[in-house]
């Protein structure tokens, strides 16, 4: 694995459990050490967080969450104190202007002639009467960074559109697992199964659009209606369980699963569907040889879901989701070919090793 010689600091709002493999792997690539600073989420977010890292030094901060929705901001108490103590050569922070202590961390680093890398989704187009002012503010914020890392090519293009140097923008495709060490699962062909099995994995919240998945399955012809397994927990679970009992009783809610129990669900499925925003589970599903249906959301899906391994659909479009399900479930043999392509992609292109490698490249570039 490519190594970075310097000492690295990394700031997150929270340390979600699914990110620990990445931070541990990145820490192993930072020869002088990786320090991670993060606080706790709001209780209603129901994010499962980690309390320690094996490959990096973790410091628990205190998050002060203010306001809600579009007015939300977060003050990360103790950030500058941690920064002085850890004293990194390079700092990586989330490129999010809602985190009000980030500008202070940028100033602290820059006064010492040290670079800061911004890590974010991108800068989606704005469309309201304050567009010009907000775009100017966003551009000023982004240009404080020495280098940017984004999850997708779409995000890279959005940052470039704000005038940020393309040479200092790196695309690290979002990954939560290393290249698969298990073989491509062997699944029955279309003549050997009675119904397809669809899997959803993620936090149950309104923006995930699981209600549309339930309704789309209900609209399918009886012969195509699949077994539907919904893995996860969250604030929208009770509403979705009630809805499923009314429109699609074939749906099964397992709650949150981890480890081998979750792997069993991936191995048993024929198709993975992400009807709303998000996408971390997509790469994991692909590592088990599953084709994907995903809604176009923040741009990250475009790099993971291609014509060879799945379908992208417009967000919040029930008819498009239903049409994609019909096409997928009508040809199980084609699903198997698409699943094999998913497996190839995560073996060669989209995995933790590749993600760490891109971060190391960005760290080196930030010092150039």
- DSSP codes joined into one string, 192-205: S-SS-EEEEES---
The 3-state DSSP composition of the chain as helix, strand, coil percent (nearest 5) reads 40, 20, 35
Residue 298 CB partners (closer than 8 Å, separation 6+): 121, 122, 124, 151, 152, 154, 155, 277, 279
DSSP annotation of 68: -
Better-predicted residue by pLDDT, 205 or 128: 205
What's the pLDDT score for residue 45?
Answer: 83
* Rama region for 100: left / alpha / beta (φ>0; ψ in -120 to 50; rest): alpha
Structure-derived torsion over alpha carbons of residues 65, 67, 73, 76, reported in degrees to the nearest 10:
-20
Confidence band for 192, pLDDT divided at 50, 70 and 90: low
pLDDT in tens, 311-356: 999 989 999 999 999 999 999 999 999 999 999 999 999 999 999 9
- DSSP codes joined into one string, 179-193: S--SPPPP---TTS-
The overall pTM is greater than 0.75: yes
Name the strands in the sheet holding 8-14, side by side, starting at the edge strand that comes first in the sequence.
Answer: 57-60, 34-39, 8-14, 90-94, 116-120, 147-150, 169-171
- Examine the pLDDT at 249 and tell me if it is beyond 70: yes
- Work out the average pLDDT over 286-304: 84
- Examine the pLDDT at 299 and tell me if it is beyond 70: no
Confidence band for 133, pLDDT divided at 50, 70 and 90: confident
d(CA 195, CA 268): 12
- Work out the average pLDDT over 268-297: 91
- Examine the pLDDT at 191 and tell me if it is beyond 80: no
Confidence band for 129, pLDDT divided at 50, 70 and 90: low
- Work out the average pLDDT over 119-142: 80
What's the pLDDT score for residue 2?
Answer: 83
3-state secondary structure of 62: strand
What's the pLDDT score for residue 298?
Answer: 57
Mean model confidence pLDDT for the chain: 93
Tokens of 347: 């073996």
- Examine the pLDDT at 279 and tell me if it is beyond 90: no
- Work out the average pLDDT over 114-123: 94
What's the pLDDT score for residue 69?
Answer: 86
DSSP annotation of 4: B
- Which domains are assigned to the chain? 8-178+351-366 (3.40.50.2000), 197-348 (3.40.50.2000)
Distance in Å from the first CA to the final CA of the chain = 21
- Examine the pLDDT at 70 and tell me if it is beyond 90: no
- Examine the pLDDT at 19 and tell me if it is beyond 90: yes
- Work out the average pLDDT over 205-221: 96
What's the pLDDT score for residue 193?
Answer: 67
d(CA 322, CA 345): 26
Task: Indicate if the alpha-carbon torsion angle 54, 56, 60, 64 is positive or negative.
Answer: negative
pLDDT in tens, 136-186: 888 899 999 999 999 989 899 999 999 999 999 999 998 888 999 999 999
- Examine the pLDDT at 128 and tell me if it is beyond 90: no
């Amino acid at each position: 694995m490519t190594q970075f010689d310097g000492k690295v600091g990394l700031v997150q709002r929270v340390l979600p459990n699914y990110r620990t493999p990445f931070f541990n792997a990145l820490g192993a690539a930072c020869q002088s050490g990786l320090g991670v600073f993060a606080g706790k989420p709001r209780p209603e977010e129901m994010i499962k967080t980690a309390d320690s890292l094996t490959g990096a030094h973790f410091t628990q901060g205190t998050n002060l969450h203010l306001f809600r929705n579009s007015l939300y901001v977060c003050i990360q108490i103790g950030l500058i104190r941690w920064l002085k103590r850890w004293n990194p050569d390079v700092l990586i922070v989330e490129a999010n202007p809602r985190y009000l202590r980030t500008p202070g961390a940028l100033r602290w680093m820059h006064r010492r002639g040290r670079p800061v890398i911004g890590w974010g989704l991108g800068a989606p187009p704005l469309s309201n009467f304050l567009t010009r002012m907000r775009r100017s503010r966003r551009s000023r914020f982004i240009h404080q960074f020495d280098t940017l890392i984004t999850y997708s090519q779409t995000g890279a293009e959005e940052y470039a559109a704000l005038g940020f140097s393309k040479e200092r923008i790196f695309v690290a495709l979002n990954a939560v697992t290393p290249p698969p060490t298990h073989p491509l699962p062997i699944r029955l062909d279309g003549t050997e199964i009675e119904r397809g099995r669809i899997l959803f994995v993620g936090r149950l919240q309104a923006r995930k659009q699981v209600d549309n998945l339930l309704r789309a399955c209900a609209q399918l012809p009886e012969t195509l209606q699949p077994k539907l397994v919904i893995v996860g927990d969250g604030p929208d679970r009770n509403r979705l369980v009630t809805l499923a009992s009314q429109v699609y009783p074939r749906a099964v809610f397992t709650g949150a699963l981890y480890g081998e129990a979750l792997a069993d669900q991936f191995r048993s499925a024929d198709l993975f569907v992400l009807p709303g925003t998000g996408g971390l589970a997509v790469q994991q599903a692909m590592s088990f040889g599953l084709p994907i249906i995903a809604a176009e959301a923040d741009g990250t899906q475009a790099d993971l879901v291609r014509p060879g391994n799945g379908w992208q659909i417009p967000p919040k479009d029930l008819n498009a989701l239903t049409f994609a399900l019909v096409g997928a479930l009508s040809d199980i043999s084609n699903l198997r070919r698409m699943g094999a392509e998913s497996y190839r992609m995560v073996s060669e292109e989209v995995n933790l090793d590749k993600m760490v490698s891109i971060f190391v490249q960005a760290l080196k570039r930030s010092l150039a």
